[in-house]
Amino acid sequence: MRRRFIAPIALVLAVSLAGCSGGNSADNVVQPTDDLSQENLNDPSTPDPDQEAAAATCKEAKEVSGRAPRIVTTVAPITNLVALMVSGTSIEVDGIVPEGTNSHTFEPPPSAASVLERADVIFVNGLGLEDPTLELARANAKNSVVCELGTAILPKGSWIFDFSFPMDGGKPNPHVWTSPFLVLGYLNIIRDAAAALDPSSMEIIDANYIKLSRIAMDLDEAVKTASATIAPANRKLLTYHDAYAYFADRYGYEVVGAIQPQSFEEPSPKEIANLIDQVKKEGVVAVFGSEVFPSPVLEQIGKEAGVRYVDTLRDDDLLGKPGDPEHSWAALMRSNYITMVTALGGDAAALKAIKSDIGLVDKAFYPQ
């Protein structure tokens, strides 16, 4: 039963990683790739020793006996994936980054040190997203396994650099979890670590893994189907926060720009004027803001360029409240991509047909 599901997931993931474009340093445009082409099947990415080391570290989790194993996570989408993976087991999950805060600039409070210290496994997104939290973990949590999910699944050849995450800054775009397809790689690592912590719950964890993988694959298919209904010329993304680079790469969108500068401050008047020109020139049909980063600037750009402004995307702030069925990674992806496809003139029926509630209970602690 188990192998039947795992093999295809590993295969499609390997194909996808070989096809990621990465390396867009020249400007703010992320080129989409045809990542399932036959050539790419024969084009494995260059081995990356740092990625291999990160993946090996994630495998260091050991069985915990005599007490409940403890996992600490950072951003809410990852907290939810981990919590659903261990649903029905005694493994405890504590998130650290409060929802609605800027995860890119988040500094953990000193009280987080003791939470990290008690953890058996600490899952972070990695790829430079949570450096202050990692630093605190490395200083205080000497006996915890620190697993950087994004760093462990993406070799450097697949990193995407762009407008907000330029190559000379050294940190790639970290938003891997906005690609349902790449999340399959996160799920493999989370499953293995959870099963290592609590081998007696292996069957429960495997059953949860199958449900989670299936919703990720269903979302992947639905995004493909729904995106295909958008006129190709309209598949252009101008977002406030630059969170959709890996999404765009997989599903054939062009990231025309991200408004929020690398410093996470407001753009200058000159930058705004340039963006308005760009929106007009590229024929962008909608610009997207987010509830986490409310932006009068984006509204102004939409108004002056005469295009629709949609302000409801979120990259790491889940819908609803902890305990609500829609407070999940899958519901967030479904909602974001319905919003995106509809605003760009497509038909989001395939996404609307997805049931994001997969019947697993999330008992993680989410700081608010």
Sheet with 121-124, strands from edge to edge, namely 92-95, 70-73, 121-124, 145-148
Q: Taking the complex as a whole, how short is the minimal distance between the CB of residue 200 and Zn ion, in angstroms?
A: 37
- Part of the chain binding Zn ion (CB under 5 A), chosen from 27-35, 228-236, 296-304, 311-319: 311-319
Element (H, E) at 73: strand 70-73
Quote the CA–CA distance of 35 and 27 in Å, as a whole number.
21
User: Of 93 and 97, which has the nearer Cβ to Zn ion?
Assistant: 97
Q: At what angle do helices 202-227 and 76-85 cross, to 10 degrees?
A: 130
Query: Does residue 99 interact with Zn ion by CB under 5 A?
Result: no
User: Of 243 and 301, which has the nearer Cβ to Zn ion?
Assistant: 243
User: Of 129 and 284, which has the nearer Cβ to Zn ion?
Assistant: 129
SS3 124: strand
Q: Taking the complex as a whole, how short is the minimal distance between the CB of residue 119 and Zn ion, in angstroms?
A: 23
User: Of 102 and 200, which has the nearer Cβ to Zn ion?
Assistant: 102
Q: Taking the complex as a whole, how short is the minimal distance between the CB of residue 311 and Zn ion, in angstroms?
A: 16
User: Of 74 and 208, which has the nearer Cβ to Zn ion?
Assistant: 74
Query: From residue 233 to residue 262, what is the string marking binding to Zn ion with x (rule CB under 5 A)?
Result: ----------x-------------------
User: Of 244 and 309, which has the nearer Cβ to Zn ion?
Assistant: 244
How many Å from the N-terminal Cα to the C-terminal Cα in the chain?
A: 39
Residue 93: strand pairing partners: 71
User: Of 76 and 189, which has the nearer Cβ to Zn ion?
Assistant: 76
- Position of minimal CB gap to Zn ion: 315
Going 324 to 330 to 332 to 338, the CA torsion angle's sign is negative
User: Of 128 and 155, which has the nearer Cβ to Zn ion?
Assistant: 128
DSSP structure string for 137-192:
HHHH-TTSEEEEHHHHH--GGG----SSS-GGG------GGGSHHHHHHHHHHHHH
- Part of the chain binding Zn ion (CB under 5 A), chosen from 73-81, 135-143, 152-160, 308-316: 308-316
Q: Taking the complex as a whole, how short is the minimal distance between the CB of residue 91 and Zn ion, in angstroms?
A: 27
Q: Taking the complex as a whole, how short is the minimal distance between the CB of residue 339 and Zn ion, in angstroms?
A: 17
Burial environment of residue 72 by CB neighbours within 10 A (0 to 12, 13 to 18, 19 or more): buried
Q: Taking the complex as a whole, how short is the minimal distance between the CB of residue 70 and Zn ion, in angstroms?
A: 26
Q: Which of 315, 336, 348, 362 binds Zn ion (CB under 5 A)?
A: 315
- Three-state secondary structure readout of 278-305: HHHHHCCCEEEEECCCCCHHHHHHHHHH
Q: Taking the complex as a whole, how short is the minimal distance between the CB of residue 360 and Zn ion, in angstroms?
A: 25
Quote the CA–CA distance of 358 and 219 in Å, as a whole number.
12
Count residues contacting Zn ion (CB under 5 A)?
2
Q: Taking the complex as a whole, how short is the minimal distance between the CB of residue 59 and Zn ion, in angstroms?
A: 27
Going 294 to 298 to 300 to 302, the CA torsion angle's sign is negative
Interface residues with Zn ion (CB under 5 A)? 243, 315
